[in-house]
Amino acid sequence: MAGLAASLGSGAMTNDIAGIKEADVIMIIGSDTTAAHPVIAARIKQAVREGKTKIIVIDPKQIDIAKFSEIYVAQRPGTDVAVINCLMQVIIKNGWEAKDYIKERLEGFEELKAEVLKPKYSPENIEKISGIPAASLIQIAEMFAKAETAAVFYAMGITQHTTGTDNVWSVANLQMLCGNLGKPGGGVNPLRGQSNVQGACDMGGLPNVYPGYQKVGDPAVQEKFEKAWGKKLSPKVGITITEMIDGAYDGKVKAIYVMGENPYLSDPDQNHVITALEKTEFLVVQDMFITETAEFADVILPAAAYAEKEGHFTNTERRVQRLQQAVNPPLDVKTDWEIIQLIANAMGSDWNYQSVADITSEINLLTPQYGGITWDRVGRLGLQWPCPTETHPGTPYLHKDRFARGLGLLKGIEFKEPNELPDEEFPFILTTGRVLQQFHTGTMSRKTQGLNNLAGPMIMISAADADKLGIENSEKVRLSTRRGEIEAPAFVTRRISQGVIYVPFHYKEAPANRLTNPAIDPVAKIPEYKVCAAKLEKIS
Amino acid sequence: MKIMINGKSYQASPSETVLQVALRNGIYIPHLCYHQRTGPAAKCRACVVQVEGMNGLQTSCNLSVRDNMKVITDSPAVKAAQKMVVDLALSTGKHDCLACEQNGDCELQDAAYYLGIEHPSYQVEIPDYPLDDSSEFIYVERDKCISCGRCVVGCNQNVVNEVINFAYRGFETKIVFDQDLPMGTSSCVQCGECVQLCPVGALIDKRARGKGRPWNLEKIETVCPYCGVGCKLELHVDTLKNEIIRIKGVEDSPTNEGMLCVKGRYGFDFVHSPERLTKPMIKENGQLREAEWDEAINLVASRFNEIIEKHGSDSVAGLASAKVTNEENFVFQKFMRREVGTNNVDHCARL
């Protein structure tokens, strides 16, 4: 999100789901859309089926949606900046860029040109770096740039790298260069992975911003919140999740309050996380279940499920939608906001929310983008932010006539290799992700036996590598990295490139994040889940 | 524009069909193959009507409205034709309603009710297909299938999974998965689009069988708890038992247009899981024990206060959640910032 916020002025998905059918070309890079966002995948496939839209898929795995693509290519994991710079070089050299749009709406074109026109980004050279044939790179550049409207869809395949911010900025560069921002069907579209990850960000569940991305440390913002909340607030930017774990490990963080998260399985380098959780002096976990993280807790507080409460989720297209209570929570289980209010008051404070709607009203007051998304206005089908006033209709796509930051900022991004590359001892590239039938750390999905019957732990390897090591399909194999090892059945396929291994991260019995590299992007602080060096062994 | 139906005048827009205008105004015309999300097919011919100036009966599902069109939906000739179609459909399958999951929500039953058909008139040997219960979540009973084709359109045009199609000819026509494989071994991803579109009891939610009649279940709209697409769900709930029985997609939602994935539609067991926490727990001597709320809350509050006092506000950190509501995240960060006095708040957006 940091890359988009800096280049465009707003870090959210720019366009809406309904607009997908307006695109002439859609590039899907770093998103296994049918597995992780199946209904958006359906909308994209519909657009292809209707004949208007063509899709380009760039992914190390030949993912399901590649079947519908005009062009499918596999890049070596971690080479996205190189690939996108190459596409931009081809576009600029052929004069396919959106010249008027660049003149009127962007800045930084000369700086971008200086970087991407370097000979190292030539298709021939990038073929050597990424594994994508030079001819395909040229074909993709032409098809993408010549489209009237082209969209890019991506997910964690772009962001979970030590160069995550660079990757995102590169996607934004490409879309600005081709004039695809600020119109229906175009845009830079990061698909958010969890039901309310957009809302958690919007509501200031981040160490550097208050609700509505109002910056911590900005004196005017601080004054606004101090006035509204009647208390002095800290001007110091806080620490991120990976820094919290490190802080607990180092003994600087003494207490952690975890609401509905499971860092034991979701954070990189599990052994490090375990030690950090053990060292935490006081750990409170608020959840529906005794999660793997909750095993380490000093106090566990039982919380209600989605179907047991009211409130709002904000989806990936910035649509705020109403949750309605369908069933009662088990006796003695409370909703998260009630629990937080109880703790605040037991600490000596003065909270007095009578209902969820009371909180919604405070959000409307303090969050400019949500100003007009009141309890009474949301309706059955929701409203898309920004929606600053009660008469505003909501915003299906961003940056219509101007960017949130004024001019869109193009920036030359230099390609950097991932933090950990294969070597003699660890010759494979391990990349991680999701499968269709499971979700995140499995706290919810793994309670449905049918889903478990459909999708258990696996280590996906190429048929060529399986042949070389004498590994049969479904045979249990051992996968290790510098941080640990797991064992799981091999899933042998021709859909993954030789030398690349894929492991879903949902399973506590074969946790991918025991293996992953905790190296983080310096700006976004996101760990490099998508590339690390690994060793694969036959067990017997 | 205006059209006349059964002698009364109704407003209509040029993009509408006669069936749509009729249904919108509470005028029932039997229809089995038409669904708003699969469009007109004009296959079943149960929706025939009479139109002034047109020869013969017309299928209303694919008949575009024209200004001043005069339509009759309930003349003896129209109803006789509709009755023949519905009677044949009833005669050629195993349409025994008593234990059928779709009873009360069945469109063939609705048509028979409207037309006053008590028993099918024709004696036709039904194919007696074996039940297909090979899939985890979907139950296929082909003897109830009326070959309306909605599931075929749903699978191929809506979710574009391209698994279901018609195979074989004439009376032997049936829906098949891939090359006529059992559903569970086919490439079906069990999104349940076909189940949602099936007008009869041929494709049903396997786990909901026998768990509640449609009219006894309350329907509540909410949002899916899984990925960030934000599909709108319709939860069918037995309120006395306090239990979710099944989930459907909300058909007019701009995010999902009725579609769902296998998790959103079938992965709701966690809500009623016996593993749910039902009491606060406190760790004592390395063991978790149950506690009352007062004790747990007071312990958390006093420990937070102590640690803040001793090590400063920045020695406390909090993880908000990508799985709880905006309101809950708002109060969580407010708690960390206002009560604890730190900006050490984050969540798993990056993970």
Mean pLDDT of successive 10-residue segments in chain B (351 residues)?
Answer: 96 96 97 95 94 95 96 96 95 90 95 94 87 96 95 97 95 94 97 97 95 95 96 97 97 96 97 96 95 97 97 97 96 98 90 69
What angle, 0 to 180 degrees and rounded to 10, lies between the N-to-C axes of helices B326-334 and A336-346? 20
Q: Is the pLDDT of residue A401 over 90?
A: no
Last residue of a domain, one of B67, B88, B115: B115
- In this structure, are B174 and B199 located in the same domain? yes
Nearest to A314 by CA among A407, A396, A385: A385
* DSSP 8-class letter at B61: G
B185 touches A at CB < 8 Å: no
- In this structure, are B83 and B153 located in the same domain? no
Q: What is the pLDDT of residue A371?
A: 97
Last residue of a domain, one of B69, B95, B115: B115
Question: What is the CATH class of A197-384?
Answer: alpha beta
* Domains in chain B, number: 5
- In this structure, are B48 and B21 located in the same domain? yes
- In this structure, are B43 and B86 located in the same domain? yes
Q: Which residue of B has its CA nearest to A367?
A: B330
Whether A443 sits inside 8 A of B270 (CB atoms) is yes
Q: Which of A68, A252, A313 to mutate to test the interface with B (most CBs of B within 10 A)?
A: A313
Q: Is the pLDDT of residue A2 over 70?
A: no
What is the CATH T-level fold of the domain A2-191, as seen in this structure? Dimethylsulfoxide Reductase; domain 2 (3.40.228)
* Contacts with B280 from chain A: Cβ below 8 Å: 299-302
Q: Is B122 a domain residue?
A: no
Q: How many beta-carbon pairs under 8 angstroms link A with B?
A: 455
H and E: helices and strands count for chain B: 8, 16
Q: Is the pLDDT of residue A404 over 90?
A: no
Domain housing B302: 282-307
- The whole model's pTM is what? 0.94
Closest CB to B191 among A38, A210, A308 = A38
* Contacts with B344 from chain A: Cβ below 8 Å: 207, 238-239, 244, 253
pLDDT level of residue A5 (50, 70, 90 thresholds): confident
Q: What is the pLDDT of residue A196?
A: 95
pLDDT level of residue A9 (50, 70, 90 thresholds): low
Region(s) of chain A under CATH 2.40.40.20: 428-538
Nearest to A356 by CA among A367, A364, A346: A364
Between positions 288 and 347 of B, the ones with CB within 8 A of A are 288, 293, 296-305, 307, 311, 313-339, 341-347
Mean pLDDT of A94-101: 96
* Contacts with B159 from chain A: Cβ below 8 Å: 42, 45
A467: three-class secondary structure by DSSP = helix
Taking residue A509's Cβ as centre, other Cβ atoms within 10 Å add up to 9
Q: Is B259 a domain residue?
A: yes
- In this structure, are B197 and B137 located in the same domain? yes
Q: Which residue of A has its CA nearest to B318?
A: A257
Nearest-neighbour CA in chain A from B71: distance (Å): 33
* Contacts with A247 from chain B: Cβ below 8 Å: 317
Partnered with residue B166 across adjacent β-strands are: B175
Last residue of a domain, one of B186, B210, B234: B210
Whether B347 sits inside 8 A of A205 (CB atoms) is yes
Instruction: List C-alpha distances in Å: A434 to A58, B266, B271.
Output: 17, 18, 22
Between positions 233 and 252 of B, the ones with CB within 8 A of A are 235, 237, 239, 242-244, 250, 252
- In this structure, are B237 and B333 located in the same domain? no
Q: Which residue of B has its CA nearest to A317?
A: B229
Nearest to A492 by CA among A459, A525, A520: A459
* Contacts with B285 from chain A: Cβ below 8 Å: none
One CATH from 2.20.25.10, 3.20.20.410, 2.40.40.20, 3.40.228.10 for A428-538: 2.40.40.20
Q: Is B120 a domain residue?
A: no
* DSSP 8-class letter at B157: I
- Residue A173, amino acid: N
- In this structure, are B109 and B6 located in the same domain? yes
Q: Which residue of A has its CA nearest to B224?
A: A195
- In this structure, are B161 and B195 located in the same domain? yes
> Which pair of structure tokens corresponds to residue A380?
């059955």
Region(s) of chain A under CATH 3.40.50.740: 197-384
- In this structure, are B21 and B91 located in the same domain? yes
pLDDT level of residue A11 (50, 70, 90 thresholds): confident
Q: Could you give the count of Cα atoms lying within 13 Å of B221 in the half-sphere of its Cβ? A: 16
- In this structure, are B31 and B84 located in the same domain? yes
Q: What is the pLDDT of residue A524?
A: 85
Closest CB to B261 among A39, A267, A450 = A39
Taking residue A152's Cβ as centre, other Cβ atoms within 10 Å add up to 30
Whether B343 sits inside 8 A of A216 (CB atoms) is yes
Could you tell me which residue, A263 or B336, shows the higher pLDDT? B336
Dist CA A363 CA B325 (whole Å): 12
* Contacts with A380 from chain B: Cβ below 8 Å: 221, 250
* Contacts with A303 from chain B: Cβ below 8 Å: 277, 324
- In this structure, are B100 and B59 located in the same domain? yes
> pLDDT tens digits, residue range A315-372?
999 999 999 999 999 999 999 999 999 999 999 999 999 999 999 999 999 999 999 9
Q: Is B53 a domain residue?
A: yes
Between positions 13 and 52 of B, the ones with CB within 8 A of A are none
Q: Which residue of B has its CA nearest to A520?
A: B350
Dist CA B344 CA B191 (whole Å): 40
- Decide if B142 contacts B123 (C-beta within 8 A): no
* DSSP 8-class letter at A426: S
- In this structure, are B32 and B73 located in the same domain? yes
Whether A300 sits inside 8 A of B277 (CB atoms) is yes
Closest CB to B222 among A202, A247, A326 = A326
